[in-house]
Amino acid sequence: MSNGNREFSIDYERLKEISARAYHAYEDGRGIFKHKERFLPQWAIPPEIEYEPQMAETRLSNRAGNYLFVLASMEKKSQTKQNIKNGLKTWANPETRWIFSPEEVVQRNLREIKQVLSQNLRYTINNFSSNFLSNNHMMVDEYEGYAKNIIDGQTVEESRRRLMMFKGIGTGIANLYIIYCTDRQIAQVQDPEEMRLKVDIHKARVPTNTNAVLPANGRVRRDLLVPALEASYLQVCRDEGFNRGRLDSALWLIGSQICVKKDMAQCVSLCPLEKLCVSCVREDNTTGELVVLENGRRVETRKGVEQFHLNVGLYPE
């Protein structure tokens, strides 16, 4: 599978294979997926919103939708684990819980909003505070103050279009919020088969690590990969009958909990893709490129690789 820029190609059969291995390991709860729910924002929401014991459906879907909209909005260049922790602490504090209610947010001034976002949610990227206030006004004016109304009963295409009308929300966050809502039965789209994965650094790097993405010149810009991988992952889900949210979670967990640690011992013990992995490539923070080759050699960032190959005698297949 090629692309118009000719800067990379996608080995679709290879992508399908790594997706299948990740998906089935996730379904079976093997390796890194043994306690998967505790890593995922849609399964780590305030207990006041949940049934007891926890069910797939939330007890208060309006509040759950608003809570997850805030967390999804912060999924840019940030640590999900820390976002979950900060979100729960901010909700638990009666003095700051209002940040998750659009009707209350629009009654506050920008200084108050900035204070909670910076001191409690610990999120201050770019113009997030002013965008946050503007988005909450839009939520109240057009969607009755409930984020789930943006997508409930709509097609995926219309849901994405509506979500991307909010400031700071692009295709990735739009895809992610749709997954959050459908995963927890907060809202439903008309055509869930059209749902797309959020192609973040993890879902771009995993196929690059495993030779499913092949750069023409040793490097590839991640922003160029996003639309091509969105379409390719969607086709994999269609061909294999995969739940989009589960595949998204499986690949994200591999990338965020294993690849980022760059530890060969973790790869061998926890990763279902270890036998298909060629190397753990790096991202150039200046250019936004995934660096696969340097001086004609495959980039490898993991600790303990040399010792592993010395013991085994061969690279993994």
Domain ranges of the chain: 8-36+196-312, 46-183
The residue ranges of the chain whose pLDDT is under 50 are: 1-2, 313-317
Which pLDDT score is estimated for 315? 44
Give the architecture-level CATH label for domain 46-183: Orthogonal Bundle (1.10)
| pLDDT of 5 | 55
pTM of structure: 0.91
Q: By the 8 A CB rule, do 184 and 56 touch?
A: yes
Q: How many CB atoms lie within 10 A of CB 285?
A: 8
Separation of alpha carbons 182 and 161, rounded Å: 17
pLDDT value at position 69? 98
Residues 181, 122, 127, 286, Cα dihedral to 10°: -100
Q: Which of 106, 104, 114 is nearest to 63 (CA)?
A: 104
* Separation CA 209–CA 290 (nearest Å): 10
Q: What confidence score (pLDDT) does residue 274 get?
A: 95
- 214: β partners: 9
